[in-house]
Structure 1
Amino acid sequence: MAASANIHAKGYEKLKAHGAMLLFAILIAGSFSLGGLAAGVMPSAAINAIRYVIGTAVMGLFGLFVLRVEIRVPAAFWRFVILGMLMAVYMFTMFKALEFTSPVSTGAVFTLMPLMSAGFALVFLGQKTRPPVLASLILAAAGAVWVIFRGNIDAILSFDVGRGELIYFIGVICHAAYAPLLRKFNRGESAFTFGFWGVACTGVILLIPGVPAIAESGITNLPLIAWVAIFYLAIATTAITFMLLQYASMRLPASKVLAYGYLTPTFIIMVEGMIGHGWVSASVFAGAAVTALGLVVMALLPD
């Protein structure tokens, strides 16, 4: 009886973890539309630095006054430095790559992340990805590529690996290693403690390129929409998404955690359509359906 209750409890925790990553993908999708507005009026290095400073402050205040926890520097602090470096490199290379290539091309490179994360999970955690799960990941990736290239076969076939793609590939490697390391490095800390120090270390590292950019950008003259975008990036896609990623990574294999990123292009399409920027063709929506199908199959398969 107790064993049955334990199985049901674990199943419920995994269901919540899948829900957390679904919310993760939705929040990330919203950041593209708002982030594009901020990027038009200030350098990306400044945006990243400010969003992480604000995100760290918000998380700290939430922990102190809502959760009523004492914020202490945890033991083996090097764990958070490594995680911060990995995420900082990812953020920096993502924006840097866009100086040389298009969002479509970076999106194509992104589809490698869950599969690479499965490889890192095998190395760091000994997690083996079952063939059916791997097949569902490939199916979801194919649907995501179709959506990213707007169903244009010629665009897919003409994809060229250039400087921007190689820069972003370095960031993708770092992010792919990040998810399994969240589980490996956790020593029983709460999701808040682990999330707070991970975000804080990322912010400190991003201040290195960010401070000069902030000094040159004249942030006091930014329009209101830019601050709305920055606060959304700071709270929704920095503080909240880190907590969601931390929660899910402790309950799901790394390959399943990052696979939800495949839904991001679909959610971006929906957000852009709802705010009046136009809708895509039926064939692109078909690709989105394939991605969703692949992720549903993946979620239902045993870990």
Structure 2
Amino acid sequence: MQPTARGYPVIYVHGLMLLMVVLVASSFPVGAAITDGMPPEVMMLIRFVLAAILFLPYVLLKHGRRLPSRGKLLQYAVLSIPLVVFFWCMFAALRHTSALNTGAIYTMVPAITAVFLWLIHREATPGRRAMGLLAGTLGAIWIVFRGDLEALLGFDFNRGDWLFLLGCLFMGAYNPLIKKFYSGEPMEVMTFWVISIGSVWLLLLSLPALDEIAWGQVRGGVYLGVLYLALFTTLVTFFLLQFGTVALGPTQVASYGFLTPLFVMLIELVRGSEVFEWILLPGILLVILAMLLVQREGIAAGNPNKSVKTTTLACRSR
């Protein structure tokens, strides 16, 4: 069995990448199940604070108590804005649309990122990857509109779809902004401060609602759901993303994001929240094609071990 650059079997690393996609995909059904439990900004505040607390021991043990400069803190504050907007839009959108729709729209983030990379850095997208981004975007649109040509031509998004698309536009700016601001610091340090400062923004947004929440009457499943999101779809996926990016390269790892709606659908079918419709099959095949095209582009590039600066360009997975 051919080893990767880090000496691990290829099938082992790809298996971890599939696990990462399953965890990311699970955030949509979990979010849909708990979104009515609290205001979106309050749930995101709890999630970000928990994630920062969980990150803190690792950052302290590995890097000590070293504070960033004022300039870096300002950059981290700017970087936190797309994440805060994205996650708020996600939870607010899930009150009006399905987990499958949000999972499908999420696959548009790489294409949106490519547009921002060109606008900010004038960085062109290689041909095979561009074809993959186009196929993934078309597949996502097909899934959202359930193959309904009339709805597609009228671009009949519901309120939740539009709201989550807005969040994805902000998320698409995240990686280009990382490329602009990154100066060689460990990614776990950057992630910790981005999440921590994001918690401050969310606290400011949540202040009007905090006194109105009857905390004792919030069902336990809501707290468990937020804990799950903080632990598994934030902390665990961060380390899986870092591991996979070093072992396989950022392009191959980013391509797994196209499988998100497929795993959202499988989770929803198991939960009984969705019924499989054959009309979705062309969209599913397009997102799988998108993944394969981008994977091949990564393999053709040779995927040498990248610097941390390059690895940050992998698709953000939270």
What's the TM-score bracket when you normalise by the shorter of the two chains? 0.7 to 0.9
Query: Match for residue 82 of structure 1?
Result: 78
What are the Cα deviations for residues 82-122 of structure 1, in whole angstroms up to 9, with x where unaligned?
Answer: 111121122233444566x5347766764543222112223
What are the Cα deviations for residues 139-159 of structure 1, in whole angstroms up to 9, with x where unaligned?
Answer: 122222222333333433342
Change (3 A) 1:266 1:109: closer
Number of residue-to-residue matches in the alignment = 291
2:72 equivalent to 1:72: no
**How far has the Cα of 1:166 moved from its partner?**
5.7
Structure 1-normalised TM-score?
Answer: 0.79
Change (3 A) 1:153 1:30: same
Moved more, 256-265 or 169-178: 256-265
Moved more, 70-79 or 14-23: 14-23
Partners of 2:179 and 2:242 in 1: how far apart? 8
What is the letter of the counterpart of residue 176 of structure 2? P
Instruction: Tell me if the contact between 1:94 and 1:171 (Cα under 8 Å) persists in the aligned partners.
Output: yes
Change (3 A) 1:34 1:21: same
Unaligned 5+ residue runs, structure 1?
Answer: 1-7
Query: Match for residue 234 of structure 1?
Result: 230
Unaligned 5+ residue runs, structure 2?
Answer: 302-318
User: Which residue, 18, 35, 41 being the options, matches 1:45?
Assistant: 41
**How far has the Cα of 1:128 moved from its partner?**
2.0
Give the match's secondary structure for 2:117: helix
What is the letter of the counterpart of residue 132 of structure 2? S
Query: Match for residue 182 of structure 1?
Result: 178
Change (3 A) 1:21 1:127: farther
Query: Match for residue 97 of structure 2?
Result: 102
What is the letter of the counterpart of residue 30 of structure 1? S
Query: Match for residue 315 of structure 2?
Result: none
When the two chains are superposed, the root-mean-square deviation of aligned CA atoms in Å is: 3.4
What is the letter of the counterpart of residue 31 of structure 1? S
2:144 equivalent to 1:148: yes
Structure 2-normalised TM-score?
Answer: 0.76
Q: Which protein, 1 or 2, shows the higher relative CO under an 8 Å CA cutoff with sep ≥ 6?
A: 1
Matched ranges for 1:1-303 at <5 A: 9=5, 22-64=18-60, 67-75=61-69, 76-97=72-93, 102-103=97-98, 110=106, 112-160=108-156, 167-243=163-239, 251-252=249-250, 260-301=256-297, 302=300
* Seq. identity, %: 30
Change (3 A) 1:162 1:230: closer
**How far has the Cα of 1:241 moved from its partner?**
3.7
Change (3 A) 1:211 1:258: farther
Instruction: Tell me if the contact between 1:179 and 1:257 (Cα under 8 Å) persists in the aligned partners.
Output: no
Partners of 1:281 and 1:214 in 2: how far apart? 41
